[in-house]
A and B are shown apart, each in its own frame.
Chain A
Amino acid sequence: MKAKYEMLFTGAGGQGVILCSIILAEAAFLTGKNVAQSQSYGPEARGGLCRAELVIDEAKIVYPKVTHADFLLALTQASLDKYGPGVPADAMIVMDSSLQAPENLGSGNVVALPILYTASKVVGNVLTANIVSAGAIDALLGIAPGALLEQAMRMHIPWGTEAMNLLALGEGSKLGAAARRAARQ
């Protein structure tokens, strides 16, 4: 990861991409880095495009929004189609493997991961897709050690959901680690 790393998290309202960005922000913060996390969303509680932004920097952050995305997470076709073409050529795009990559993606560095499948079929609850994502992204990028990521997650999930979310985090981490190994080969 570069000293300053700018990330976009996109999906549908209700998928939890904002929480995914908050957990990764907290994890990076626990490692001692500066972070700025924000989000934009419509007035609807579910559905609609949802986008979260995270800037991680070793230096003080002046402008807290993303201007040059190094990373894009897309969990829906609509969000991939909307934000995929605009990312710089050196950005990493992580998309759910159920999506079709449009031809005009800004970057060819695309990692397709079965995030939604893993959440619904392996963990057993599609609502954990954001935690699977957080585990996968951290394994791919090395934002924080696993123990700090788990600590960050525990700070932000509802009481009583720890076991399910720990499973989701672990399964996501496996996905990310496998993709990282594949990219190196």
Chain B
Amino acid sequence: MAEGRRLLLHGNEAVVEGALAAGMRFFAGYPITPSTEIAERCALRLPQVGGRFIQMEDELASMAAVIGASVVGVKAMTATSGPGFSLMQENIGYAALAEIPCVIVDVQRAGPSTGMPTSPSQGDYMQARWGTHGDHPIIVISPSSAQEAYFETIRAFTLSERLRVPVILLMDETVGHLREGVELLDASEAAASDRLARDDAEQAEKPYAVLPGEYVPRLSPFGQGALYNITGLIHDDRGFPTSSKEAADRLCRRIMEKIAMNAGEIERYESRHMEDAQVCVVSFGGTARAVQAAVDAARGDGIRVGLFRPITVWPFPEAALGRICGRVRDIVVAELNGGQMKMEVERVAAGRCRVHHLGRVNGAILTPGEILAAIREVAG
């Protein structure tokens, strides 16, 4: 199937091809619209490459199975949509604390609850960051085309494996079900990074200890080398539960710092026409395609407007956006929700520019015409 270098794939299919190129060899999931094609293609493709596909009884079990596979050293993924994403949250937190790499694809659909299964939405933006309880590290990536879904899935695995953190691929229905040409990489070109592991005496005694200057423990694949303990309780370097305030502080700070210390590698955004812009439209995922068309049209009318599109949407690219906030007069946040990314933009703007919102919560998408009208109104 990979003999054609350029294939017509929809976003969901591109995710699977990207995952396989990155070395994903285990998928557990429970099909749900509009993510179902990810499970379908994994069921078809994984056996072809010696991998395993399991349809589980629900999304709690799916996430648990992914964690189990990852613990023994296999790159693992699941895919779902809003209702299933809610069910996965507890185990996502477990993976975040126990530092178990995994990639979770959430193809967003209109919510809340079972909502409108076949309609697009970007309403899980905040849930992707804060869906599981407690301060926890997470990386969230939101692609805006089938091609980007392919490349960003590979990057999701690299970040997850290297930093031992759950990575959420936050798709929306618009991209998941959009068929476009996708350039595929050769396996050698794709090669996502693997997690670092070690198998020595210190690892056997203190599996969660980090080497000097490092932030990520080099846990050996479970079952190889010395046995060790894995728990969702706050643990010490030995991996056993502790109520030591010092140990808790060290662990809880380290798992956040490993994200902060690698921010440069994690951060990714697109900035267009921002050099002389007075108005900036901030958007992400599929919606950003309509924004780009509107910005191009407005530029044709002589309006000094640009686009800022976070690709890594969490951690939020606050330094890059902060520089923009100091330069522009107005920001319009265009998103298919009631104002979730707008809150982040307002926090970063901190009153330096006006922040407007163009949102939608009815299962419809924003069109270039509507965004252009908003740009014209703001530009005066």
Q: Name A's B-contacting residues (CB within 8 A).
A: 22, 25-26, 29, 34-43, 61-65, 67
Contacts and interface: CB of A to CB of B under 8 A. Distances in A.
A38 B174 contact: yes
B292 A37 contact: no
Given A62-B293, A62-B296, A37 B181 contact: no
Contacts of A40: 118-119
7 contacts: A26-B8, A37-B179, A38-B174, A43-B33, A61-B180, A64-B180, A67-B369
Nearest to A54: B179
Contact of A25 (B116, B177, B179): B179
Interface in B51-73: none
A41 B116 CA distance: 11
A35 B181 contact: yes
A37 B292 CA distance: 18
A130 B154 CA distance: 36
Nearest to A38: B178
A64 B178 contact: yes
A22 B33 CA distance: 19
B165 to A, nearest CB: 32
A42 B110 CA distance: 12
Contacts of B239: none
B32 to A, nearest CB: 12
B118 A25 contact: no
Interface residues of B, number: 22
Given A25-B8, A25-B179, 16 more contacts: A22-B179, A29-B181, A34-B180, A35-B179, A37-B8, A38-B177, A38-B178, A38-B179, A40-B119, A41-B118, A43-B118, A62-B293, A63-B289, A63-B368, A64-B174, A65-B290
Main secondary structure of the interface of B (DSSP, over half): mixed
A100 B178 CA distance: 32
A34 B116 CA distance: 30
Contacts of B177: 38-39
B252 interface: no
Nearest to A27: B8
B365 interface: yes
B118 A36 contact: no
Contacts of B119: 40
What 10 A-B pairs are tightest by C-beta distance, nearest first? A63-B293, A37-B179, A29-B8, A62-B293, A38-B178, A62-B292, A43-B117, A63-B289, A63-B368, A26-B8
Given A43-B118, A62-B292, A36 B178 contact: yes
B8 to A, nearest CB: 5
Find the residue from B116, B174, B179, B292 having the highest chain A CB count within 10 A: B179
Nearest to B296: A62
Contacts of A65: 290, 365, 367
Contact of B367 (A35, A37, A67): A67
Contacts of A25: 8, 179
Interface in B151-174: 174
A22 B180 CA distance: 11
B181 A62 contact: no
A50 to B, nearest CB: 11
A9 to B, nearest CB: 13
A67 B118 contact: no
